[in-house]
A and B are shown apart, each in its own frame.
Chain A
Amino acid sequence: MIEIEGVTKLYKMGSETIHALLGVALKIHRNEYLAIMGPSGSGKSTLMNMLGCLDTPTAGRYEFNGKHVAAMSDDELAEIRNREIGFVFQTFNLLPRSTALSNVELPLIYAGFSAQDRRARAIEALENVGLGNRMTHKPNELSGGQRQRVAIARALVNRPSIILADEPTGNLDSRTGVEIMELFEQLYDQGNTIIVVTHEEDIARHARRIVRLRDGLIESDRPAD
C-alpha cells in the first residue's frame, strides 16, 4: 500500500545542509501494525512527516495506493491527508475551543460531508473509542487519555487507509498509555493499518513489525518478538 524507495530529505539550516534521510526504502502493506523507532535525530520524525504527506521528499519515490505522492501539489497532499491518513499526535492537537464532537467532525467538514452525515459518523467514531458520554465536552474538560481518544476518533472518522501515531503515549501516564495501546490493538484487529513512531521499547513491542532508524538510514526492519 505504501512503497518508498531511495527517499532522501535535505534541510537547509542557515548555511548548513542537514541530511535527515539518506535513501530509505520501505514497504507497508494493508493491515500492518508497524513501529518506527530511533533516537532523536535519527530521521524518524522526517520519515513520519513524509509518510503522512505533510512533506515531500527531496529525492526518491513515494507511492501511496499506487499514487505518486512526491510530485503532488499542496492541495493534492491536503486531500490525501484528509482521506487516507489519520494523525494521532503526542500533544493531541485538538482545537481547544471546540467540543469533542466538533473536533471529530472537522475532517468531515473538509471532506465535504453534509451536516447530518457528519454528526452521525462523528458520534459513531466517539462511541467506538468509548467517549459516547463526553461528546459535548471541550478538551480542557477532558483527561489526557480522553483527549487522546478524541484525537483517535478524529483520525478514524474519515476511514483512512492508515493511522499515523507520533509518540501517542508520550504525554500520558503509563496506565493511560496502556489503555491507548489496547485501543490501537483493537483498531488493528478491526483491520486498520497502524504506524506508531516512538522511542519507547514498551510501546514498540505492541507492534507486529519494528523498523529502526539511525542517522537517516534504516538500521533494521524485522517482526517484533
Chain B
Amino acid sequence: MKIQEIFGMSLSSLAVNKLRSILTMSGITIGVFSVIGVMTTVSALRGSIESGLNILGSNAFQFQKFPSGFSSGGENRRKYQLRRNITLEQGQRYQRLMEGIAEVVSLELYDFTPAQAVYQNRKTTPDQTFGGGNQHYLAANQYAIETGRNFTEGDVELARPLCVIGQGVAKKLFPAETPIGKTIKVRGRAYMVIGLLAERGTSFGQSQDDIIIVPVSRFQMEFGNERQSLNIATQALSQEVYNETIDKAITAMRIARGLKPEDENDFELFSNESLIASFAKVADAVAAGSFVISGIALLAAGVGIMNIMLVSVTERTKEIGIRKSIGARKISILTQFLIEAVAISLAGGLVGILLGVAAGNGLAVWMKASIIFPWLWAAIGLLVCSGIGVGFGFYPAWKAASLDPIEALRYE
C-alpha cells in the first residue's frame, strides 16, 4: 500500500463533495488570510521604514508639544494638554540659540483642519494640508522646488503674503499655465505663489502633493489661535554630531521655554529612531491582536473540519466496510481520512496565504511600502494548517479505522 495511492483516494472523495469541501476550507482560509494579511502589511511597512524611509529626514529630530500619535495613550493625555504651547517666539529664540550648531531649523505651524485653495473659478478639494513654515521647511520635510523659489529669511521676517504649493494644488488650479506669480486664496486670504514643489507622491495613504505652505509668521498673524503649538524640526550637520546636536538642542529648547533647572522638559523629542520604535510597538500590538483573532478563527475552522469528517465517516461507513472486507488495514483507512482532513486544511491555508499576501501587499503598496513575500509566515501558516488537519482529523479518522468490518458492511 503506497502513500500516493491513498492520496489519490482522499482527493477523489473530496472532489465528490466539492461544495462541502470548499465551505469547510473557507474557515481555514479566513483565519490564515487575516493573520497573513496583517503580517504581510506589518512586515512590508516595517521593512520600508527601517530601510531608510526617513520620516523626519536624515539626521533630523523634532520638538512638539504632544507625543507622537503612535504612542499617545489616553492616560497621559491630560498631562500633555496642560503644557504650554510652543510659541513662534520661543521657536525663533531656539533658532537663534542653535545658530552655528544646526543650519536647518524648521519652524512649522499647522491648522487642525485641512483647507481649500481657490484661483479665479477653480478650486481644489477641501482637504489640502495648510500650514506655515520658514525658509527651512522644504529642506526639513524633503521637498524640492521645481520652479520658482523658496521663502527667504526676509519673507519670513516680514510675514509676506506668499506661498509655495504642491503639484496636486497646481494641477487643480493651474492646469494650463504657470502658477508662479499668481495669487490664490486660502480661507479668504490672498497669497502669491512663488514656488512650485516637485512631486512627492503618497505616503501612508496620504498625498504629499496637496499642500500649501505660507510663511510661518504670516500664518500666525492670520490664523494664530491658542490651540496652535509650534513644531520645530532640526537637522544635525552630520551623523557624527547627531547625538551631540540633540543634547544641545534640548538645552536650547529649555532656555527658549524659560524652564528652571529643576523643571522637567515640557516638550517632546522625536527622532527617526523613536518613531520607528513606536511604530514597532504598534506593529507588535497589531500582530498580537491578529494572532489571537486568527487563532480563534482557526480553532473554529478546525472544529468545522472535525465535524465534517465525522459526517463523512458516517456517510461512508459502507465504503469503509467494503475496503476492510477486501483487505484494507487500519492504518490505510486512518491515513486516507487523515489525508482528507489535512488536504482540506492545507488547501484552505494555501488560499488564505495567497489572498493574505495579495491583500497585505495591496495595503502596503497603497501606503508606499515595497512588496514582500513573507516566506517565514507562509511556512508557519502551512505548518499550523497541517497541524490543524492532523489534530482535528485524527479522531474521525481513528473512528473510521476502528469500525467493525461486519457492522460497517451491514450499514445502509
Contact = CB atoms under 8 A, between A and B. Distances in A.
A binds B: yes
Interface of A: 49, 52, 54-55, 74-75, 78-79, 81-83, 87, 89, 93-95, 97, 106-107, 109-112, 154, 158
B327 A78 contact: yes
Contact of B327 (A55, A79, A94, A95): A79
A80 B329 CA distance: 11
A62 B256 CA distance: 105
Interface of B: 1-2, 5, 12-13, 16, 318-319, 321-332, 405-406, 409
A109 B321 CA distance: 16
Nearest to B316: A95
Contact of B409 (A93, A110, A111): A93
Given A75-B330, A95-B319, A81 B406 contact: no
Nearest to B408: A54
Given A55-B406, A94-B322, A107-B326, 11 more contacts: A54-B325, A54-B409, A75-B329, A78-B329, A81-B326, A81-B327, A87-B326, A106-B323, A110-B323, A111-B327, A154-B326
What does DSSP make chain B's interface, helix, strand, loop or mixed? helix
B326 A54 contact: no
Contact of A83 (B1, B318, B321, B327): B327
Given A54-B405, A97-B16, A112-B2, A106 B330 contact: no
Nearest to B9: A109
A110 B329 CA distance: 8
B96 to A, nearest CB: 88
Contacts of A97: 12-13, 16
Nearest to B2: A112
B324 to A, nearest CB: 7
Contacts of B16: 97
Given A54-B325, A95-B319, A97-B16, A78 B330 contact: yes
A109 B2 CA distance: 8
A74 B330 contact: yes
Contacts of B330: 74-75, 78
A107 B225 CA distance: 89
Contacts of A94: 322
A169 to B, nearest CB: 19
A183 B400 CA distance: 35
Contacts of B329: 74-75, 78-79, 110
A54 B406 contact: yes
A186 to B, nearest CB: 22
Given A54-B406, A97-B16, A110-B329, A78 B324 contact: yes
A78 B330 CA distance: 8
Contacts of A87: 325-326
A52 B327 CA distance: 11
A87 B406 CA distance: 13
A155 to B, nearest CB: 8
A75 B324 CA distance: 10
A87 B405 CA distance: 13
A151 B405 CA distance: 18
A148 B6 CA distance: 26
A81 B1 contact: no
Contacts of A55: 406
A49 B323 CA distance: 15
A89 B322 CA distance: 10
Nearest to A157: B326
Contact of A109 (B1, B12, B331): B1
B322 A109 contact: no
Contacts of B332: 110
B327 A107 contact: yes
Nearest to B13: A97
B334 to A, nearest CB: 11
29 contacts: A49-B406, A54-B324, A54-B405, A54-B409, A74-B329, A74-B330, A75-B330, A75-B331, A78-B328, A78-B329, A79-B329, A81-B327, A82-B326, A83-B327, A93-B409, A94-B322, A97-B16, A106-B323, A106-B326, A107-B326, A107-B327, A109-B1, A109-B5, A110-B1, A110-B327, A110-B328, A110-B332, A111-B1, A112-B2
B173 to A, nearest CB: 70
A130 B223 CA distance: 99
Nearest to B405: A54
| 6 interchain residue pairs of minimum CB distance | A82-B327, A110-B327, A107-B326, A78-B329, A81-B327, A75-B329
Contacts of B328: 78, 82, 110
Nearest to A77: B405
